[in-house]
Amino acid sequence: MVANFAQRVPRARWTNALRQPPKPAISWFRRFRRLTPWIYLVVPLGLLTTFVYYPCVRLFYYSFTDWDGLTPHPSFVGLYNYRQIFSNPQYFDVFKVSLYYIGGAAVQIVVALYFATILSFNVRFRNFWKGVIFFPYLINGVAIAFIFNFFFAPGGTLDSVLKVIGYHNQYNSNGRLLSHHLWLGDPHLVNVSLAGVSVWRYLGLNFVLFLGAVQSIPGNLYEAAELDGASRWHQFRYIIAPGIRPLIGLSVILAVAGALAVFEVPYIMLLGANGSTTFVIRTVQTAFTFHEFGQASALAVVLLLIVLAITWVQRLVVPDKEVDLT
């Protein structure tokens, strides 16, 4: 065997090898060094493929089938599921619900910018305000849902506060409200109420991110601006806003993507009732309640494409370039 193997080695290569300077040790080392990064990357790439990319590929495949989650060989239905999304109001209407959350996200970013700006100047009890505005972000979503179930309940927190500040309604002898807005029961109000909860919950994160960015702007810029007679608005407009523009762009994208992916709070509060069904609630219900995995996959693919498109547009509109303030 061994002799046979040696005979097979072509003569030319032998002579070639003799002519070149010997470097087998180095090449072994190099080959190993070339392999080293992959040893570190095997696990993360494996996880990434298994739990992010492979599901994405399967999602595309399922979206063209009528799979019910059980049959091993689902039949191919072409674009039927996609046509359903854009023609059946049951699916299409959930896009309209997202608009309320996008509106909420806009309010959230403006308010977060406002508080980040005023709290980066000298304010009494600064840490207290900062902590209070940020804390809701740390609260468990289920707890938030419970808090706001009671907040919006008839005769709950909101109605009582409105009563205190003089918004009059009819009361019974105990001082409890008899007639009131149905904050969660009225299909015209429910999504406004829920978008409000979303702002309450996520404002703090945006605020803290903006505050960090505003504080990294060198202080002498404001001094110079003040000596030139710039007002606070001008300071915001010409120093703060351009200085944190990349972060504002990123926040807008995250807020819009987040507005499309709302699930927790409306699901726990109302199980999607009264027209509060969001895109993800509809997807989860379609898959795990009605076992229409093919249809649910098509919904997920559409959302995935929308989010990727938004991110792409953001990269085009707001480049990641650092803004030079000096």
Partner 1 sequence: MTTAVSGPPTTRAFRRTPAEQARQIAAEILKYASLVFAALCVIIPLLVFVFLSLKTNAKTNTTSPLSPPRSLDLHNYSVAFTQAKMTLAFTNTLIIMIFSISMTVIIGSMTAYAIDRFQFRGKRLVLGAFLVGSLVPTITTQVATFQVVKYFGLVGTLRAPIVLYLGTDIISIYIFLQFIRSIPISLDESARLEGASTFRIYRTIIFPLLRPAVATVVIIKAVAIYNDFYTPFLYLSGNPRLAVVSTALFTFKGPFGTQYNVLSAAALLIILPVLVLFLFLQKYIYNGFSNGAIK
238 contacts partner 1 (rule: CB under 8 A) = no
Q: Which range, of 9-17, 20-28, 73-81, 174-182, touches partner 1 by CB under 8 A?
A: 174-182
**Which among 74-82, 97-105, 181-189, 299-307 is the span making contact with partner 1, rule CB under 8 A?**
299-307
CA angle centred on 230, ends 226 and 231, rounded to 5°: 105
DSSP 323: P
**Shortest Å distance, C-beta 298 to partner 1:** 10
CA distance 169 to 231: 44
Closest by CA to 187, choosing from 270, 263, 265, is 270
Contact 276, 266 (CB under 8 A): yes
Closest approach of partner 1 to the CB of residue 287, in Å: 5
The C-alpha atoms of residue 213 and residue 22 are separated, in whole angstroms, by: 57
Does 164 bind partner 1 (CB under 8 A)? Our answer is: yes
Query: Phi then psi for 219, rounded to 5 degrees?
Result: -65, -30
Q: Which of 250, 270, 236 is nearest to 310 (CA)?
A: 250
> How many chain residues touch partner 1 (CB under 8 A)?
102
Is the distance from CB of 170 to CB of 259 less than 8 angstroms?
no
- Of 4-12, 14-22, 87-95, 212-220, which part binds partner 1 (CB under 8 A)? 212-220
Q: With both helix axes pointing from N to C terminus, report the angle between 80-87 and 293-317 in degrees, rounded to the nearest 10.
A: 70
Sorted by sequence, the CB contacts under 8 Å of residue 181 that are 6+ apart come out as: 159, 189
Contact between 316 and partner 1 by CB under 8 A: the answer reads: no
Among residues 102, 118, 189, 318, the one that binds partner 1 under rule CB under 8 A? 118
Among 74, 102, 106, 136, binds partner 1 (CB under 8 A): 136
Shortest CB 294 distance to partner 1, Å: 10
Of 189-208, binders to partner 1 (CB under 8 A) are 200, 205, 208
With binding defined as CB under 8 A, does residue 241 bind partner 1? no
Please tell me whether residue 47 binds partner 1 under the rule CB under 8 A: yes
Residue 194 or 264: the one with the smaller Cβ distance to partner 1 is 264
Nearer to partner 1, 21 or 72 (CB): 72
